[in-house]
Amino acid sequence: MCIMFFSRKLLKIFWIFIYLSKKHLIFFSLSVFGSWAGQLGDGRAHLVGVYTNRRGERWELQLKGSGKTPYSRNGDGRAVLRSSVREFLCSEAMHYLGVPTSRAASLVVSDDDVWRDQFYDGNIKKERGAVVLRLAKSWFRIGSLEILAHSGELDLLRSLVLMQNKGPGQPDCGGSVSVSPLAAGQPSTLLKQSQLEESSVICSNSPIRRKLLDFIIQEHFPSVVPSYSDRYLDFFSTVVSETANLIALWMSVGFAHGVCNTDNFSLLSITIDYGPFGFMDSYDPNFVPNTSDDEGRYKIGNQANAGLFNLNKLLQALKPLLDPRQKQLASQILEEYGQTYYGRFTELFKRKLGLLGDSEDDNYLIAFLLKLMEDTKADFTMTFRQLSEITADQLKELHIPEEFWALQDLGRHGLFSEWVAMYLSRLDGIKGDSDIKRRRRMTTVNPRYVLRNWMAESAVQKANLNDFSEVQLLQQVLQRPFQRQQAAEKAGYAMRPPAWARGLKVSCSS
């Protein structure tokens, strides 16, 4: 039995398969939860070709869950239905939210048995298999360069897939990188300074790394001049800036990736590898969607810090290609990451509040609101959406209609009226503005629907019973997240999450 779903605009890409015969793999390594994990690679993903669309954009096509690869180790190379449905829906949802992301062209479901220990508790169960056709302009990750730094590039000229890691005894250059304080969505505390280890192998001759970087720059970084002597600096600066932008965008929609390892961070700064992700329901800077993350290393409020850690790993991989002057400049670029992130974070949340122009109190206004939301456990998505829909007069009178349930939760805080007064005063200071204009621009940036875990779980449970109606409904709804939709309202997608949603768990098992 085979059931197929397609993203409408990407439909024709699926048929490219009949012309493809040779499969390619990508190898990489990573720092997983902060520790070096050695060489890994695509354990169940095959790169099957490149598609060029009418705009001349090149997209790399990859099958996930398509069987064993040389990097499967003890795995079966398969993917289960639940994780495949989540990736298929979320990658498209993020695209329509305006967040850079890989795309999903198709989801193919079968009745083949796949055995998984979902929560790593010894309870192995039979699940249905599935394959996702996913696309990205490149699947290169920070880990793709990190492995070259650790391996010393031995024998890579003869074979890019048979590489020996140096293992124990690698030189340690020591040192640390400190950053300016930056906000990661938690208003009460600033992100702690990170002391990051530098453990790359510094090789005087790095031919493969240089060739790989030159290829990546030529193919994917048009703003960087390939022949420019400082091209690696420009490349690094772009990745730092765009990574800060990506994580700020995640924060603006309440998205927690769940596994921010170096192999899950794209060099093109797009969202990839949708696993134990989650969109926040109640606002909580300590929100951890991944049950495997016991220490909360990748909690939503620490994603910016995780990005800094990964960028430092990228810098260590680049250092053998830089002269002393360039190394110093690269370190300065990394030190500016915090300021870049915080600036973008502030800009996005000002847009969410409909603020135009600049005021010295804007940062405080944002932080004040987030603290109220944290204290009252107000819903993240619907608080901002309902602020987009309520009138200024209703806010001024503190008259919150019943339909604005998230604002009612927020209104129970003793300082809510103080925040409202500050907010309305700030809005009144915008020349030539009106309440209608304010609400119109806010509804274009504050979604009414995101792929909450309970929505995905409901769709998965039905799909396991051969009912794919909710998968199809979510696929349609999430293409227009900023528009009120009758079918979505009927399904309760803008209502308070059901009580059973609080007990949902998501793991790395897929």
Predicted confidence (pLDDT) per residue in 425-459, tens digit: 999 999 999 999 999 999 999 999 999 999 999 99
What pLDDT was estimated at residue 111? 78
Cα separation, 93 vs 504, in Å, equals: 20
Burial, 210: exposed, middle or buried (Cβ in 10 Å; 0-12, 13-18, 19+)?
Answer: middle
Determine the 3-state secondary structure of 138 from DSSP. Answer: coil
Q: How confident is the model at residue 112 (pLDDT cuts 50, 70, 90)?
A: confident
Cα separation, 246 vs 253, in Å, equals: 11
Cα separation, 283 vs 349, in Å, equals: 14
Q: How confident is the model at residue 200 (pLDDT cuts 50, 70, 90)?
A: very low
Do 307 and 211 contact (CB within 8 A), yes or no?
no
Q: Which of 118-122, 246-250, 362-366, 495-499 has the lowest mean pLDDT?
A: 118-122
The arithmetic mean of pLDDT across residues 249-277, rounded, is 96
What pLDDT was estimated at residue 509? 56
Cα separation, 166 vs 155, in Å, equals: 12
Q: How confident is the model at residue 367 (pLDDT cuts 50, 70, 90)?
A: very high
Q: Please give the C-alpha separations between residue 11 and each of 162, 245, 256, in angstroms, as whole numbers.
A: 36, 30, 29
Identify the active-site residue in 113, 117, 121, 263: 263
**Structure tokens, 271:** 């969202």
17-31, 182-196, 251-265 — which one is most confidently predicted on average?
A: 251-265
Triad 129, 28, 81: Cα angle to 5°? 10
Backbone angles phi, psi at 369, to 5 degrees: -65, -45
Q: How confident is the model at residue 98 (pLDDT cuts 50, 70, 90)?
A: very high
What pTM value is reported for the model? Answer: 0.84
What pLDDT was estimated at residue 47? 85
Cα separation, 281 vs 459, in Å, equals: 18
**Structure tokens, 205:** 């001759």
The arithmetic mean of pLDDT across residues 234-255, rounded, is 98
Helices (H), 104-193: 142-151
Cα separation, 128 vs 65, in Å, equals: 11
Cα separation, 146 vs 150, in Å, equals: 6
Q: Which of 165-169, 182-186, 289-293, 371-375 has the lowest mean pLDDT?
A: 165-169
Cα separation, 313 vs 259, in Å, equals: 16
Who has greater pLDDT, 40 or 95? Answer: 95
The arithmetic mean of pLDDT across residues 160-183, rounded, is 31
Do 129 and 79 contact (CB within 8 A), yes or no?
yes
Ramachandran region of residue 472, left (φ > 0), alpha (ψ -120 to 50) or beta?
alpha
Q: Which residues lie closer than 8 Å to 329 by C-beta, 6 or more apart?
A: 233
Using the predicted structure, report yes or no on whether residue 486 has a pLDDT greater than 70.
yes
What pLDDT was estimated at residue 26? 45
Q: How confident is the model at residue 485 (pLDDT cuts 50, 70, 90)?
A: very high
Determine the 3-state secondary structure of 135 from DSSP. Answer: strand
Triad 475, 477, 479: Cα angle to 5°? 75
First-to-final CA distance of the chain: 21
What pLDDT was estimated at residue 123? 74
Q: How confident is the model at residue 147 (pLDDT cuts 50, 70, 90)?
A: confident
pLDDT digits (tens, 9 = 90+) for 299-347: 999 999 999 999 999 999 899 889 999 999 999 999 999 999 999 999 9
- Residue 263 is among the residues annotated as catalytic for this protein: yes
